[in-house]
Amino acid sequence: MEKVATRGRPREFDAEVALAAALRVFWIKGYEAASLTDLTEAMGITRPSLYAAFGNKEELFKQALDLYEREKLAYVGQALAAPTVRQAVANLLDGAIATIADGDCRGCMGVIATVSCGTEDESIRRHLDRIGNDAHAALVGRMQQGIDAGEFPPGAVAETMTQYLKTVLQGLSVQARSGLLPAQLRQVAEATLAMWPSR
């Protein structure tokens, strides 16, 4: 990759690697509990370098959320492209479990952030809302496609089915965070699919 010329002293670290390390810290500890010392030690940089490259802790967290959305939630778009809504839901559940039960990084980063960030973190909440609203709109659209295709019983409402699925996904995240094993999470997913309304 061609390097872009910069003024002053060149950076002595890989910003992408450092951001990935920060994401891991935030994912494990949450925004409030992750200290600047935790972050700089994991990222292998000094505080001045953190501020110069990423801004403050709040801006670093928002960039970590964007990285999470790009990398850890990439399965969502692929899942929604399935030929039926039921298969899309199955793929979403599989992808979610693979993501939220990954070693030390347990639970959904977005759910953790929504629960742990205080009301004073207004810009973070707006950032989370943007990510959540985009995902919500994609789910509603896919549910409506399924309704239009006759995959649901009469009277099904796309918004309601979306909220139901999101409740299951968020519940799985909380359970994963509390220590539920992947096999147990899959049992919940299987029960959800068994009860999924179909025509």
Out of 1.10.10.60, 3.90.1150.10, 3.40.50.300, 3.30.300.30, select the CATH number for domain 15-61: 1.10.10.60
Nearest alpha-carbon partner for 43 in 24, 21, 63? 21
CB 144 within 8 A of CB 190: no
pTM check: above 0.85 = no
What would the pLDDT profile of 75-133 be if each residue is shown by its tens digit? 889 999 999 999 999 999 999 998 888 677 777 777 666 655 554 578 888 888 888 88
Q: Is the pLDDT of residue 10 over 50?
A: no
CATH placement of domain 73-194 = 1.10.357.10
Whether 53 shows a pLDDT value over 70: the answer reads yes
Q: Which residue has the tokens 């002595």?
A: 12
pLDDT value, residue 9: 46
d(CA 186, CA 25): 26
